[in-house]
A and B are shown apart, each in its own frame.
Chain A
Amino acid sequence: MAQVIIYTNNNGGVSVCIPTGEISIEEVLAKDCPTGAIIVDDSTLPKGADAQFFDAWQLNGSTVTVNLEIAKEYKLKRFNADAIAVIQKRQLNTLAGISNDISDEIFANELSVNRTAIANAKTTDDLALIANPV
């Protein structure tokens, strides 16, 4: 069972320190990690959709959980960034006389629906199912 070191970082999130094996994990703990860091089996870390939202991880004792509200913030931030990139591409297509695959009205409606879905998500599985604009 592989082991890693975890601790709460300065941003309030979780840092995961993975030893390379050049020195023991106890030496890595002492040398590379702050006071309070702990060694855990990596099997105890969040998996599946929870693993996709690493930036929303929080450490409670020796257990890592996912803060759904923070996960929503990150999801929306990424969603909007991708939406802006797609909007720019659509505008360039219009200037170049190239038809977009769907109308502006339909595209805007899809954005609105998905933003609502992000806000209403109950789990990280729900968030993971919402596709970002492409």
Chain B
Amino acid sequence: MASTTFTDNQTVIYAAWLNDVNNAVYNGIFVSPSITATSMICNGTASGAGFTNLINNTFTAPGPIGSVTPGTGAFTTLQATGAFTGTTGAFSGAISGTNGTFSGTVQVPTLNTPSGVLSTRNGITGIAKAWVNYNGNTNTILGSFNVSSVTVNATGDYFFNFTTAMGNTTYSAVYAQQASIGGAYGFSGVTDQSSLGVRVTSMNNSGGGQNSSIANLIVMSS
């Protein structure tokens, strides 16, 4: 098992100090719990208290963190109970930690917590966790976010299925359908909600189920 010691501000070429380039376990000893590297390049896979798995270390990289070329950062797993600060990074796997600061752009296809869509305070709060604009007369989805489908069970009785389940059932769901159809006022609202979706109903002024061309659901959560 390889072991080495290096100092702050040193340029480390991974392939240069480990013989096993593509699959190695790094148990390097950092001089301090915090390391500042101008350029760090990893050509293979590493694990342990090193730089592809950062555990209990504060890792500051003012320069690029690269896998092959220094201009691109790539991590399979990045864990830090301290702070992570970087300008460029590409992550194919999971990122977890208690602190993180990126001065550049973070691009991810899905931003989740293990328990659901930004269900805890680690994500952006104050924005909708799901929304949909549905035309109940033509069965047309006009726009949506985190809603995989609309199930029509009866006239005016819909179930909106979340694409990614919510992490709890204490979220706030608001549903509104066109208030006046042909001059007759009805009512609409949420009748049930679960981590999987929201059931709603709409009725006309005589208590019968009612579709309309305007049906909107918004789900907010912490």
**Contact surface of A with B, Cβ cutoff 8 Å:** 4-5, 9, 11, 13, 15-23, 27-28, 31-33, 42, 54-55, 77-78, 81-82, 84-85
Measured in the bound complex, the distance between the Cα atoms of B206 and A117 in whole Å is 21
Is B147 engaged at the interface, CB distance under 8 Å to the other chain? Answer: yes
Most chain-B Cβ atoms within 10 A of its Cβ — which of A17, A23, A32?
A32
Most chain-A Cβ atoms within 10 A of its Cβ — which of B132, B197, B207?
B207
Most chain-A Cβ atoms within 10 A of its Cβ — which of B139, B141, B197?
B139
- Known contacts A4-B139, A21-B141; A84/B149 CB under 8 A: no
**Contact surface of B with A, Cβ cutoff 8 Å:** 132, 139-141, 144-155, 161, 163, 197, 205-209
Contact across chains for B139 and A22 when beta carbons are under 8 A apart = no
- Known contacts A55-B209, A85-B205; A18/B139 CB under 8 A: yes
CB distance from A93 to the nearest CB of B (A): 17
Measured in the bound complex, the distance between the Cα atoms of B159 and A28 in whole Å is 13
Q: Choose from A15, A22, A84 the contact partner of B163 (Cβ within 8 Å).
A: A22
- Could you write out 30 A-B pairs with CB less than 8 Å apart? A11-B154, A13-B154, A17-B151, A17-B152, A18-B141, A18-B152, A19-B141, A19-B149, A20-B132, A20-B144, A20-B147, A20-B163, A21-B141, A22-B144, A22-B145, A22-B163, A28-B148, A28-B161, A31-B161, A33-B151, A54-B155, A55-B154, A55-B155, A78-B206, A78-B208, A81-B206, A81-B208, A82-B206, A84-B206, A85-B205
Contact across chains for A32 and B161 when beta carbons are under 8 A apart = yes
Contact across chains for A23 and B150 when beta carbons are under 8 A apart = no
Q: Choose from A20, A42, A78 the contact partner of B141 (Cβ within 8 Å).
A: A20
Most chain-A Cβ atoms within 10 A of its Cβ — which of B132, B140, B154, B205?
B154
Other than the known A20-B141, A32-B197, A81-B206, what 12 A-B pairs have Cβ atoms closer than 8 Å?
A: A17-B150, A17-B161, A18-B150, A19-B148, A22-B144, A22-B146, A22-B147, A28-B149, A55-B209, A78-B206, A85-B205, A85-B206
- Known contacts A23-B163, A54-B154; A81/B207 CB under 8 A: yes
Contact across chains for A9 and B163 when beta carbons are under 8 A apart = no
CB distance from B151 to the nearest CB of A (A): 4
Residues of B within 8 A of A13 (CB): 153-154
Measured in the bound complex, the distance between the Cα atoms of B160 and A28 in whole Å is 12
Q: Choose from B139, B145, B149, B205 the contact partner of A32 (Cβ within 8 Å).
A: B149
